[in-house]
Amino acid sequence: MILFILMLYGISCVSAGEFNDTSEDSVLWASDFDDNLEHDASECLDSLNDDSIVLSNDSATFSQLNSEISSCDHICLDRNYSFDSHTDKGSVIISHDILIDGNGHCIDGSNSVRCIYINTNLNVTLKNLKVINGYSTANGAGIRVADNVCLNLIDCVFKNNIVYNSNGGALSSANNCNITIYNSFFENNTSIRESNLTWNEFKKGMGSAIIA
């Protein structure tokens, strides 16, 4: 079962039709879980230690961010990161438990690749981070979450992320994930479906913002 706890601001930019799922009870709103929201988020945060790295104030590539996050479990960004086709092989990949504090900075897919991929069985918190201009032909152009992940999104922005013939422009999760979205903003995320798909492909093009 995939558990979502959502508290979204700027909700006018996200219509009800943008949240799609095959089960009625897999999307849970924060208003129904007021007593547990803070506890759920702090549980993930408490598992990360207090040591942090603060990055210098300039722009960088996805390859640089992958290198920087590989050696720490709490990082505070002080610059933007953009995909560079000359130096980067693909997305920012998270492969261990981590807290990333974006300090308002961007991870920018440059309309070329998915911004972030989170591997299985992890505990991840993204805070005050902008995830923009992701592009993918598979689910999740902003963030793709693999199985069994605890993910907290706090004060984040998802903007201008596009999936083509797939689902979940901003965010897509696989099985048995626990995702808390708090005080975050979704704008102009898109899921595009070709008009000539076969019946077996009909479910492509769902979840402009989120697919679970």
Q: Which of 34-43, 99-108, 128-137, 140-149 has the lowest mean pLDDT?
A: 34-43
pLDDT digits (tens, 9 = 90+) for 33-48: 444 444 445 555 554 4
pTM: 0.76
Q: Which of 40-44, 104-108, 191-195 has the lowest mean pLDDT?
A: 40-44
Residue 36 is predicted with a pLDDT of 47
Residue that wins the pLDDT comparison between 75 and 51? 75
140 CB contacts (<8 Å, ≥6 apart)?
114, 163, 166, 167, 168, 170, 171, 172, 173, 211
- Indicate whether 66 pLDDT > 90: yes
32: tokens are 């129904």
CA distance 6 to 1: 16
| Percentage of the chain lying above the pLDDT 90 cut | 58
- Indicate whether 194 pLDDT > 80: no
- Indicate whether 157 pLDDT > 50: yes
Greatest CA separation for the chain: 52
Mean pLDDT to the nearest integer, 148-167: 94
54 falls in which pLDDT band (50, 70, 90)? low
Q: Which of 20-24, 37-41, 147-151 has the lowest mean pLDDT?
A: 20-24
Residue 191 is predicted with a pLDDT of 85
**Could you tell me if 209 and 189 are in contact, meaning their C-beta atoms sit under 8 angstroms apart?**
yes
Average pLDDT, the chain: 78
Mean pLDDT to the nearest integer, 165-169: 86
186: tokens are 């979704």
Residue that wins the pLDDT comparison between 205 and 143? 143
β-pairing verdict for 27-29 and 19-20: unpaired
